[in-house]
């Protein structure tokens, strides 16, 4: 579904995730920005591999592809077998542990079918539930854009971390949606884009999206963010989240925590943009959020070129937790909440 402002590629509005002829179609986020390549995911193993290797990445995007992936796996069944459906769901669930949207998307499809006993009805309902989930995800991010744009004044200089744009979601983005709305409304904005080591989602993907949209920006080294905040050159920080705990703590791309601490130290508002599909109300606090550790090679090399002392051990947590006390507000599709008010949100 492309409401009106889905991703712009070479000036053309382009949906980021959809199904066609039984395949799931999405942009290859490893090939970008060098090459614009679409991938067609045709079975469960291809979907799991695409999520695990980050061909598709970003919390709402993997929730959408996970939901479509489960419906696709069910469409391949020759007989109704709940054990197999359970195993398929588990295989998808295990691809990436931190982003709650994945679990949310899978559970949405399961809830639509688990009371049924006819294979073809299960297959139809699974597909329509997945499509409804993806459409709702796009609509939620659009609403995040509308609410968040109110925080952005003409001339605002915003810092963001990782990629929480259209690529990471269905069409709109979370952290980038308010920026796109503000820009579309004619406000002049400037975006500081953290490069986001080790996988450079900021330098490769966020900068590419902003360039496609014609939004003024500059890529900065991750360790330059404090410099610009201290010098008073950043008015607002907005990032996405991979999981929000009930107490308002959030997990997002590694490095988010230190940006939040430096923002607070410098009196700069720090906002999280995330749909309710990212909020895990069963998770009490950030301490309970599972943090994915990825391979050493992501840190010890860049684009396949070794950059580290060979043989030295590496640690590579993909996410960190930002405690609620550093977060000014959480921009959701239902409005902007103080982190401590999330639990009582309608
Ligand atoms: O490891 P990634 O690239 O999937 O991590 C993505 C992020 O941390 C994003 O900031 C987050 O998913 C919010 S996306 C809209």
**Which CATH number goes with the domain that contains 101?**
1.20.120.420
pLDDT at 346 over 80: no
| Domain match, 156 and 171 both | yes
C-alpha closest to that of 266 among 295, 241, 305, 234:
234
User: How much is the pLDDT for 5?
Assistant: 61
Does residue 54 come out as left (phi exceeding 0), alpha (psi in the -120 to 50 range) or beta? left
| Domain assignment present for 1 | no
Best mutation site among 99, 177, 194, 203 for ligand 1 pocket (most ligand atoms within 8 Å of CB): 99
pLDDT digits (tens, 9 = 90+) for 1-56: 444 567 888 888 888 999 999 999 999 999 999 999 999 999 999 999 999 999 99
Pick the last residue of a domain from 142, 172, 192: 142
Using CA atoms, how far apart are residues 85 and 22, in angstroms rounded to an integer?
Answer: 18
pLDDT digits (tens, 9 = 90+) for 189-226: 999 999 999 999 999 999 999 999 999 999 999 999 99
CB-based pocket (< 6 A), ligand 1 = 57-60, 99, 162, 164, 168-169, 174, 201, 239-242, 252-253, 318
| Domain match, 66 and 86 both | yes
Do residues 319 and 291 make contact, with C-beta atoms less than 8 angstroms apart?
Answer: yes
What value does the mean pLDDT take over residues 234-242? 98
pLDDT at 345 over 90: no
- Mean pLDDT rounded to a whole number for the chain: 96
pLDDT at 145 over 90: yes
Question: Separation of 58 CA from ligand 1 center, angstroms?
Answer: 4
| Domain match, 226 and 258 both | yes
Q: Which residue owns the Cα nearest ligand 1 atom 8?
A: 253
User: How much is the pLDDT for 157?
Assistant: 98
Number of domains within the chain? 2
Pick the last residue of a domain from 142, 167, 191: 142
Active site (annotated) includes residue 101? no
| Domain match, 135 and 163 both | no
Name the active-site residue from 194, 222, 242, 320: 242
Do residues 39 and 145 make contact, with C-beta atoms less than 8 angstroms apart?
Answer: no
| Domain assignment present for 248 | yes
User: How much is the pLDDT for 4?
Assistant: 53
pLDDT digits (tens, 9 = 90+) for 270-302: 999 999 999 999 999 999 999 999 999 999 999
Question: Separation of 96 CA from ligand 1 center, angstroms?
Answer: 11
| Domain match, 65 and 205 both | no
- pLDDT above 90 coverage of the chain, percent: 92
pLDDT digits (tens, 9 = 90+) for 106-132: 999 999 999 999 999 999 999 999 999
Question: Separation of 252 CA from ligand 1 center, angstroms?
Answer: 6
- The domain that holds 159 is classified in CATH as 3.40.50.10470
| Domain match, 122 and 154 both | no
| Domain match, 108 and 193 both | no
DSSP β-ladder status, 217-220 and 319-322 = unpaired
Do residues 298 and 253 make contact, with C-beta atoms less than 8 angstroms apart?
Answer: no
Query: Which range marks the domain in which residue 329 is found?
Result: 147-344
């Amino acid at each position: 579904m492309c409401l009106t402002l889905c991703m712009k590629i070479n000036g053309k509005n382009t949906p980021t995730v959809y199904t066609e002829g039984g395949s799931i179609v999405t942009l290859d986020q490893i090939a970008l920005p060098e090459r614009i390549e679409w991938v067609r995911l045709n079975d469960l193993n291809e979907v799991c591999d695409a999520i695990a290797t980050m061909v598709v990445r970003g919390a709402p995007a993997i929730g959408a592809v996970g939901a479509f992936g489960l419906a696709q796996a069910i469409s391949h069944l020759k007989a109704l077998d709940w054990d197999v459906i359970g195993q398929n769901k588990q295989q998808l669930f295990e691809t990436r542990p931190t982003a709650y949207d994945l679990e949310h998307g899978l559970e949405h499809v399961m809830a639509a079918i688990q009371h049924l006993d006819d294979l073809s009805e299960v297959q139809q309902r699974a597909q329509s539930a997945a499509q409804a989930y993806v459409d709702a995800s796009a609509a939620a991010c659009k609403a995040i854009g509308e609410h968040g744009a109110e925080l952005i004044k003409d001339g605002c200089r915003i810092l963001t971390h990782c990629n929480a744009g259209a690529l990471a979601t269905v069409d709109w983005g979370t952290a980038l949606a308010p920026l796109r709305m503000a820009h579309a409304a004619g406000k002049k904005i400037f975006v500081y884009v953290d490069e986001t080591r080790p996988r450079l989602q900021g330098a490769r993907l966020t900068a590419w999206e902003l360039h496609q949209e014609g939004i003024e920006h500059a890529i900065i080294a991750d360790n330059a963010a404090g410099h610009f905040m201290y010098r008073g050159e950043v008015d607002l920080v907005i990032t996405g989240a991979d999981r929000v705990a009930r107490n308002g703590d959030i997990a997002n791309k590694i490095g988010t925590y230190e940006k939040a601490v430096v923002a607070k130290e410098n009196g700069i508002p720090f906002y999280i943009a995330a749909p309710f599909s990212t909020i895990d109300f069963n998770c009490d606090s950030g301490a309970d959020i599972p943090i994915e550790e990825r391979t050493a090679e992501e840190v010890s090399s860049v684009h396949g070129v070794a950059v580290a002392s060979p043989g030295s051990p590496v640690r590579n947590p993909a996410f960190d937790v930002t405690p609620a006390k550093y977060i000014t507000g959480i921009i959701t599709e239902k409005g902007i909440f103080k982190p401590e008010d999330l639990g009582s949100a309608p």
